[in-house]
Amino acid sequence: MEFGIIGTAGIARKSVLPAIDASEHAVGAVASRDGERARTFADEFEIPRRYGSYEELLEDGGIDAVYVPLPNAAHAEWTKQAADAGLDVLCEKPLAVDADQARDVAAHCEDRGVTLMEAFMYRYHPRTERAIELAHEELEDVRSVSAAFKFPLFGDPDNVRLDPDLAGGSLMDVGCYAVSAARQFLGEPDRVYAHTHDSRSTGVDTELAGVLEYDDGASARIASGFDTQKVQRYRVEAANGWLVVADAFDAPLEEPLELEYRIDGRHAVETFDPTDHYRLQVEQFADCVESGTRPRTDADEAIANMRVIDGLYESAKRGELRALP
């Protein structure tokens, strides 16, 4: 498969483009609205074709699919335009700015007959798969989950993560991982509550704390932020034990990772070899395109995650518990 990259964001440069290069697939073209930036990016990674507009890339008959690492507010527009060009789409998370827009994008891609995958790379790591397996098959009656993803964002007041017009904010940027993790272990919540803080006065949440509630009494606590040192972890508590994962989401690619648990009195620490979950994500995407099957992180999954994110934002805005539709 030959990819075109729409945008030159850091996530593409640091993680996804190297992952494509490490796979059996290739990057054939890159586009930026700044032609010089596209040239520099293409030269750095020896990409054969470069374009000074996204539209030009979509007209490139040599590419089979696109990867979209643009700011959040642009994901829906360029995913739909790529689908109009008959191209399959690997889009960075979150797929859209809210659940309604995610539904629109999903329907658009379905109508055009293209594969759509949201780039939640952590879902493709063997450790994540094992944690979900343990929770579903060996933990009995999961009662609570705590999940957090925070990191220090300092020194760049113009960072897109701090721009409300670009759908910035800690929940959209990293809290979406915590929401996703909670949902993997507990399913879809019935009610949510959240509190946010805007420490930079930029119009976005730089900190968020939230609770997901379930009719059976189970709950999840999620947290995200730009104002503290890096933390990314989740813990699952059940009637017969628990499991805990550190470096849970943006995990180191060149280090072994651990999964610790105690189930029915049996304590264990499983170790996983260094793994590039970005490469596994790319390979899963290509396999789904070839086979015509739906990805693990498909449009339905994106819509479900955004439904919870919408509820958390609405709760924070109103200062009250919100039932989810």
Note the pLDDT tens digit of each residue in 275-292. 999 999 999 999 999 999
Q: Please check the confidence at residue 156 and state whether its pLDDT lies above 90.
A: no
Contact 37, 8 (CB under 8 A): yes
Stated as kind and residue range, the H or E segment containing 267 is: strand 266-272
Stated as kind and residue range, the H or E segment containing 191 is: strand 191-197
The torsion defined by the Cα of 35, 40, 43 and 46, in degrees rounded to 10, comes to: -80
Going by C-alpha positions, the residue among 222, 229, 33, 64 that lies closest to residue 144 is: 222
Contact 20, 282 (CB under 8 A): yes
Question: Rounded to an integer, what distance in angstroms lies between the CA atom of residue 157 and that of residue 147?
Answer: 27
- The CATH H-level superfamily of 2-121+281-297 is NAD(P)-binding Rossmann-like Domain (3.40.50.720)
Average pLDDT over residues 235-241: 98
What the block records as the tokens of 125 is 């790591």
Fold adopted by 125-274+305-323: Dihydrodipicolinate Reductase; domain 2 (3.30.360)
DSSP letter at 171 equals I
What the block records as the tokens of 325 is 């539709």
Note the pLDDT tens digit of each residue in 16-55. 999 999 999 999 999 999 999 999 999 999 999 999 999 9
Q: Please check the confidence at residue 157 and state whether its pLDDT lies above 90.
A: no
Question: Rounded to an integer, what distance in angstroms lies between the CA atom of residue 185 and that of residue 132?
Answer: 7
Q: Which amino acid is at 66?
A: V
Question: Rounded to an integer, what distance in angstroms lies between the CA atom of residue 178 and that of residue 234?
Answer: 8
Question: Rounded to an integer, what distance in angstroms lies between the CA atom of residue 246 and that of residue 121?
Answer: 16
* pLDDT score at 155: 82
* pLDDT score at 293: 97
- Tokens 């189930």, residue located: 263
* pLDDT score at 131: 98
Contact 277, 121 (CB under 8 A): yes
3-class DSSP string for 87-99 = CEEEEECCCCCCH
Q: How far is CA 99 from CA 12, 91, 104, 117, in A?
A: 25, 15, 9, 15
* pLDDT score at 38: 97
Note the pLDDT tens digit of each residue in 107-141. 999 999 999 999 999 999 999 999 999 999 999 99
Q: Please check the confidence at residue 145 and state whether its pLDDT lies above 90.
A: yes
Q: Please check the confidence at residue 259 and state whether its pLDDT lies above 90.
A: yes
Average pLDDT over residues 174-195: 98
Give CA 255 to chain center in angstroms.
21
Question: Rounded to an integer, what distance in angstroms lies between the CA atom of residue 298 and that of residue 301?
Answer: 5
pTM of the model: 0.97
* Domain layout of the chain by residue ranges: 2-121+281-297, 125-274+305-323
- Helix (H, G, I), strand (E, B), or coil: what is residue 20? helix
Backbone angles phi, psi at 5, to 5 degrees: -110, 120
